[in-house]
Amino acid sequence: MFITQPGRISPHVHFAGNRMICNYIIAAKKQLILLDAGLTLSAVILEQQINRLQTGNCRLQAVYLTHSHYDHLGSVPYLMKKFPGLQTGAHPVAQEVMHNPKAVKLMQALNEESEKKYAHLIRLPPEAKFRPFLIDRIFRDQEIIYPDDTISMQIIYMPGHSRDSIAFYILPDKVLYCSDGIGVPTPTGFIQATFLSNYDDYLASLYKLQKLDIDILALPHTGVIKGRTDIQTHFAGSIDETVALRERIARYLTEFDGEVEKVTRRIAEEDIEKHQIIQPREAFIINLKAMVVKTKRDIETGLL
C-alpha cells in the first residue's frame, strides 16, 4: 500500500508536509518531535500541521534531521522563530556543514530556486529565508531516544547518500524513516538512486536497513509504503537501480573518455523526462555529477 496524503500513519507517527517533501511528526504524551523540515517553502504548512497536533502541554519540542541537505532542513530557522526553545538534533557532520559557508550558500541558492518556481502558489514570509543554525543534540549510531515511556527511536547511521545520513527506527510502531539513501520512487515506478557520498556505503546501508522488522517505510519523498511485501519490493528495487546506475555511469565514462560533464548530461537527458524525476533539475544535475565524479575516481584508483 502506498500513502500519498498527510495524516496519521501509525499510533505515534503522523505524515506531514506533502507527497513531494515528506516530513514526519512523532506524537508522544507530552511532546511532539518533527523529523526533517523540508524546504523553506515547507515552513507555513509545517507550522499549521504542527499546531493542529499540539494539545494542552503537548508542544513541539524538537526537530531531528536525517541529513543536512537543503530540502530536509530548509524551514528549521522559521520553526525556531515560531516555536521558541525548539531543539535541533542531527549527525555530528551536520554541525560541520552549518559552519561551511560554501555549503550554506548552496542550500540558500537551491531553496531560493524553489521559492521562485512556486512563487505563484506559495507566499513565503520573509522570516522563512534560510540561514545557518546550531545543532543542539549530536546523535551517535545505535543511540536510542525515548520521547516517552511508550516510544523509542533508534538512530541508525546510514552513510552513502551523504556523510551524515541517519535513519530513525520507531518502536513499537515499527516505522522506519530514512534519508534519500533509501531510494526515491518516481511516478513511473523507477527508483532514483543517490550515492552522492560513497557507493559501497550506500549499498551497505540498504542491506542493513532491509533486515529490520518494518511495517511502515516512511519515505523522504513521494509518500509512505505500508506492508512488508511492498517494503521489501522497494528495498530490492533500490538495490537493483543503484547497481544499474553505477554500471551505466562507468559505461558512459568509457564511451566519453572520462568527461564528467558529457556523462552527466547524457544520463540527465535519458532520465529526467522518461522517469518523471520530481527533483528540481539543478539539484538533480548537482547530485548526478557528484555520483559521476565519485565513480570516475573509483575507476582511476582501481576500486571499480
**Domain with 290 in it:** 241-300
Domain-ending residue, one of 218, 236, 254: 236
pLDDT in tens, the chain (304 residues): 999 999 999 999 999 999 999 999 999 999 999 999 999 999 999 999 999 999 988 999 999 999 999 999 999 999 999 999 999 999 999 999 999 999 999 999 999 999 998 888 888 999 999 999 999 999 999 999 999 999 999 999 999 999 999 999 999 999 999 989 999 999 899 999 999 999 999 999 999 999 999 999 999 999 999 999 999 999 999 999 999 999 999 999 999 999 999 999 999 999 999 999 988 899 999 999 999 999 999 999 988 8
Q: What pTM, to 2 d.p., does this model score?
A: 0.96
- Domain end residue (candidates: 180, 208, 236): 236
**Domain end point (choices 236, 262, 291):** 236
Domain match, 199 and 273 both: no
C-beta separation of 232 from 210 below 8 A: yes
* 67 plus 130 within the same structural domain: yes
Residues 7 and 102 in one domain: yes
Structural domains counted in the chain: 2
